[in-house]
Amino acid sequence: MESDDMRDFATEARRFLDAHVAKAPDRTAVTWGEGDDSMAYFSSLPPEEEREFVQRAREWQRIRHENGFGWITGPVEYGGRGLTPVHDLLYDAIESEYDVADTGVLSVIGLGMIGPTILAHAQPHIRDRWLPAMYRGDAIACQLFSEPGAGSDLASVATRAVREDGGPSRSSEAESGGDWVLNGQKVWTSVAQHSQIGLALTRTNPDAPKHRGITAFLVPMDAPGVEVRPLRQMTGGADFNEVFLTDVRIPDDHRLGEVDGGWTVALTTLMNERATVGSEGVGPVGAALSPDHLSALMRATWTWDDRALRARLAELLVDVLATEHLNARALRKLRGGVAPGPEMSVSKLMYGQNLTRAAHFVSDVLGPRIIADTGQWGTYAWTELLLATPALRILGGTEEIMKNILAERVLGLPKEPVTAAAKEVRS
């Protein structure tokens, strides 16, 4: 069903990759005891190695970009290829066969979510300034949305932005005005420690209903008053941060969208978030869910004939493989030019659940070997995944919020009655 255009694109992608990188070893065909047994979902590297890791990501992004694969869906005037999301997915699928640097640190949030938001809502010279830099690998972007008091209920953000000079005398609809001063706290901000810019949601009108008093700004992370403090997460590593904003001065041209129109901007970001989460599946995480890997583990631990474990393995694999089928069908729909329905949300939910169940299944197979490190290959390493899985039911919209969305948007079930308090901004 693929067109000539797709075939040509795939050939070109392979030619590029063949010229620059080696084929990846097949991580699903396991030889027990050989190779890297890391099961890290979040990086947990010492600072020096972390810097090198980020450097390798930037470097590979630069090479991709120079060869026309850095921003496949981007407009040509910003250095993109002007192709479709399907080309993008196809490239990802092909690249996953190769041994390339992990670019998650810059691609998942920055290129996947913030880039499209800047493109849709920023002023032309801001797009010129940041988009090429981001897609060349020079600039990393983070998402300054969540706050201590605004998680699932994102529209209740309380970080204040106040327009400085002449604020009151100008119409709030003015195209460009005086600087803004930001004060507040963001939290759970992934990759802030590596970022040059962040997209912040702020409260500009505390008197309006909460969705209508928010404004979005692009914050240079080196601006005076921006302080990034690492937050250690339960895995032991520190991938996310607290970001304190104290009298941070932002020019009005760094505003995205209208004054008080930031919720529309946020929706662009969130829509792109749903499109990225759940599309993973390669690397250590792919291995965790591969039937070959799990059966190798059962053989190595002499549990392959345990009836109770076999039944649980089968149940787990039914979900893993059915989710793969769901993804494959959504992808095929996309290729045929049909927008997928609820598949992406279902896939995100299942992704978190499948990995969680896999981690607990493997723990039960390993028994004592996951409580204390015996030094045996491929055993205690699973603690890395086990400890990461709780995040997968929270980030990018918690399980409960995803279910509300499915039930309300897909099945048309009524929303909960909104209390007056829920419409207000909490102080």
Partner 1 sequence: MTADESELRELRASVREFLEAKSPEEAVRKLMESEPRFDPAVWSQAADQLRLPGLAIPEEYGGDGFGLVELGVVLEEMGRALFCAPFFATVLLAAQALLASGDRDACARFLPGIASGRTTATLAVAEDHGSWDPAMVSARAVPDGDGGWTVRGRKCFVIDGTTADLILVVARTVAGPTLFVVERDATGLAAEPMETLDATRAMARLTFDAVPATLVGAEGAGGRIMAKVLDIASVGLAAEQAGGARRCLETSADYARVRHQFGRPIGSFQAVKHKCADMLVQVELAEASSREAARLADEGSPDFPVAAAVAHACCSRAYMTAAMENIQVHGGIGFTWEHPAHLYFRRAKSSQLLFGGPAVYHERLLDRLGI
Ligand X SMILES: Cc1cc2nc3c(=O)[nH]c(=O)nc-3n(C[C@H](O)[C@H](O)[C@H](O)COP(=O)(O)OP(=O)(O)OC[C@H]3O[C@@H](n4cnc5c(N)ncnc54)[C@H](O)[C@@H]3O)c2cc1C
Token pair for 121: 């809502």
| Smallest gap from residue 401 Cβ to partner 1 (A) | 11
- Residue by residue, DSSP assigns 373-395 as ----TTTTTHHHHHHHHHHHTTT
Among 208, 267, 311, 422, binds partner 1 (CB under 8 A): 311
Looking at beta carbons only, is 235 or 347 nearer to ligand X? 235
Give the chain's end-to-end CA distance (angstroms, integer): 56
* Residue 45 site contact among partner 1, ligand X, none (CB < 5 to 8 Å, cut-off depends on kind): none
* Per-residue mark of binding to partner 1, 336-365 (x: CB under 8 A): x-x---xx--x--xx---------------
Beta pairing, strands 197-203 & 214-220:
antiparallel
Looking at beta carbons only, is 165 or 400 nearer to ligand X? 400
What sign for the dihedral angle of Cα 15, 17, 23, 29? negative
**Does 418 engage in binding with partner 1 (CB under 8 A)?**
no
* Residue 362 site contact among partner 1, ligand X, none (CB < 5 to 8 Å, cut-off depends on kind): none
Host H or E run for residue 190: strand 180-190
DSSP state of 333: H
Closest CA to 14 of 3, 27, 23: 23
**Does 208 engage in binding with partner 1 (CB under 8 A)?**
no
DSSP state of 226: E
**Does 276 engage in binding with ligand X (CB under 6 A)?**
no
- 175 exposed, middle or buried (CB, 10 Å; 0-12, 13-18, 19+)? exposed
Looking at beta carbons only, is 86 or 108 nearer to ligand X? 108
In whole angstroms, what is the distance from residue 413 CA to residue 402 CA? 14
| Smallest gap from residue 343 Cβ to partner 1 (A) | 7
Residues 6+ apart with CB under 8 A from 143: 109, 113, 114, 189, 190, 198, 199, 269
Catalytic option among 273, 315, 416, 424: 273
Rounded to an integer, what is the distance from CA 413 to the centroid of its chain?
28
Q: Angle between the 85-95 and 307-335 helix axes, to the nearest 10 degrees?
A: 140
**Does 152 engage in binding with ligand X (CB under 6 A)?**
yes
Buried b (16+ CB within 10 A) or exposed e, 229-242: eebebebebbbbbb
* Residue 349 site contact among partner 1, ligand X, none (CB < 5 to 8 Å, cut-off depends on kind): partner 1
Residues 6+ apart with CB under 8 A from 99: 21, 22, 23, 24, 25
Q: Is 176 in contact with 128 (CB distance < 8 Å)?
A: no
* Residue 188 site contact among ligand X, partner 1, none (CB < 5 to 8 Å, cut-off depends on kind): ligand X
- Residue 202's Cβ-side half-sphere holds a number of Cα atoms within 13 Å equal to 31
**Does 151 engage in binding with ligand X (CB under 6 A)?**
yes
Window 362-391: residues binding ligand X (CB under 6 A): 391
- How many residues belong to the site for partner 1 (CB under 8 A)? 42
| Smallest gap from residue 323 Cβ to partner 1 (A) | 7
Q: Is 391 in contact with 233 (CB distance < 8 Å)?
A: yes
| Smallest gap from residue 248 Cβ to partner 1 (A) | 38
In Å, how far are 6, 85, 107, 239, 299 from 138, measured between CA atoms? 29, 23, 12, 20, 46
Q: Look-up: residue for tokens 């204390």?
A: 372
Task: Examine the residue annotation and report whether 273 is marked as an active-site residue of this protein.
Answer: yes
**Does 411 engage in binding with partner 1 (CB under 8 A)?**
yes
**Does 394 engage in binding with partner 1 (CB under 8 A)?**
no
* Residue 394 site contact among partner 1, ligand X, none (CB < 5 to 8 Å, cut-off depends on kind): ligand X
**Does 394 engage in binding with ligand X (CB under 6 A)?**
yes
**Does 28 engage in binding with partner 1 (CB under 8 A)?**
no
Looking at beta carbons only, is 316 or 388 nearer to ligand X? 388
Window 90-149: residues binding ligand X (CB under 6 A): 109, 142-143, 145-146
**Does 188 engage in binding with ligand X (CB under 6 A)?**
yes
* Per-residue mark of binding to ligand X, 236-275 (x: CB under 6 A): ----x-----------------------------------
**Interface contacts to partner 1, rule CB under 8 A:** 291, 294-295, 298, 304, 310-311, 313-315, 317-319, 321-323, 325-326, 328-329, 336, 338, 342-343, 346, 349-350, 400, 402-404, 406-408, 410-417
Give me the active site residues, please: 273
**Interface contacts to ligand X, rule CB under 6 A:** 109, 142-143, 145-146, 151-152, 188-190, 240, 391, 394-395, 398, 400-401, 404
